[in-house]
A and B are shown apart, each in its own frame.
Chain A
Amino acid sequence: MKLLAALLAPVVIVWLADWRLRARTGVIEEEDARIRRLPRARRR
């Protein structure tokens, strides 16, 4: 059981970080695209 927990721990940690990174990257890319779609005058 301890070995199972030890093997699962890094998988869960990396999965959480990757999920967070992909989510943030998606949000950032979406925001960038939205800003690019705005008229130049409203970007500021």
Chain B
Amino acid sequence: MYAGHAAVAIALKRRAPRLPIVPLVLAAFGPDWLELLFALPVKREGMAIFTHSIPAVLIGGGLAAGLWAATRRPGGSTIFLAWLLHWPADLLTGRKPVLFRDPLIGLDLYKIPAVDFALESVVIVIGCALYARAYPPRGELRRVIVILGAALIAIQGAVDVALSVMRNSEWTPSFAVMDRRPQLHPLSDHGRAGFRMHFAPRPSYQPHEEAMAKDGPRGIVTLVCLTCGKEKFFTGEVPAAVSCEQCGSTVFRTFATPTEPDEAAIDALEAQARSMAYGDSSPDTTRDDVHDLDAQ
């Protein structure tokens, strides 16, 4: 969620009228600020566990509330609540860690920018309505709050337009991702390095299909991001939820490369093999071809 966090903050303002609005809004975006700090000086993969998981939100909110309380000003509990509400709000629009790195859960509405815009607009309208009740019911005050709501909806619209232009990837809410099968299956009888891949998609986890999947060759699985083309390699089991470290997309094209002797793979390699040594003649190249190339 983006502008919706600001709406949550202004909705909480009534709870603590003496708490300034800026620290409240900063707390509502707290995990995002932490994520920004962790991305300095270079962006790192997998920081969400330290910023957006439930323990991280509890610790971050507690620290922020503690710091605020240390200044002997009222509203520490509201700071904590604003930080805490970041997690359920993000659950609607993205996919966030719960306790550990996997699984990521959430409705992932960022992938449907129009729905995200509608949802966040509703949250902003509700937030502004609650915020308005903190002030006397006067026309000119209401006008300022309407402008505030319109401005928040406008920046949300800008973000959603950018999302619709940048990310044309598939919508993958958490329940769909949880059903995704791993590409490699560990085999207890082949030790720690014993993984086998199956090349054909499986509709379900039937026991006989599990047995068939173990018959495949061992190897490396390459996931190529459909959005930006970044490649990720896995020699072990592919995690249930993988996101691209470059663009954040979760949709990949999968390629399996066998690394153990396998008849089909050996045949294919022999058929395609060509000598790369200097001076070796190419088997399909005639003397005339070489002459033509030299002439060019």
Interface residues of A (CB under 8 A from B): 3-4, 6-7, 9-11, 13-15, 17-18, 20-21, 24-25, 28
For this complex, 19 residue pairs linking A to B, each with C-beta atoms less than 8 Å apart, are: A3-B36, A3-B39, A7-B29, A7-B33, A10-B2, A10-B3, A10-B5, A10-B152, A11-B25, A13-B151, A14-B21, A14-B22, A17-B151, A21-B135, A21-B141, A21-B144, A25-B136, A28-B138, A28-B140
B47 within 8 Å of A (CB atoms): no
B105 within 8 Å of A (CB atoms): no
A7 contact set on B, CB distance < 8 A: 29, 32-33, 36
Interface residues of B (CB under 8 A from A): 2-3, 5-6, 9-10, 13, 21-22, 25-26, 29, 32-33, 36, 39, 135-136, 138, 140-141, 144-145, 147-148, 151-152, 155, 159
Return A16 CB to nearest CB of chain B, in Å: 8
Majority SS of interface residues in chain A?
A: helix
> How far, in angstroms, from A18 to B29 measured CA to CA in the complex?
17
B145 contact set on A, CB distance < 8 A: 17, 21
Return A23 CB to nearest CB of chain B, in Å: 10
Q: Is the CB of A6 within 8 A of B2?
A: yes
Apart from A14-B6, A28-B138, list 17 A-B contacts with CB within 8 A.
Answer: A4-B36, A6-B2, A10-B5, A10-B155, A11-B25, A11-B26, A13-B155, A14-B9, A14-B21, A14-B25, A17-B144, A18-B13, A20-B144, A21-B135, A21-B141, A24-B141, A28-B140
The chain A residue sitting closest to B28, CB to CB, is A10
Residue of A10, A15, A21, A25 with most partner-chain B CB within 10 A: A10
> How far, in angstroms, from A18 to B135 measured CA to CA in the complex?
10
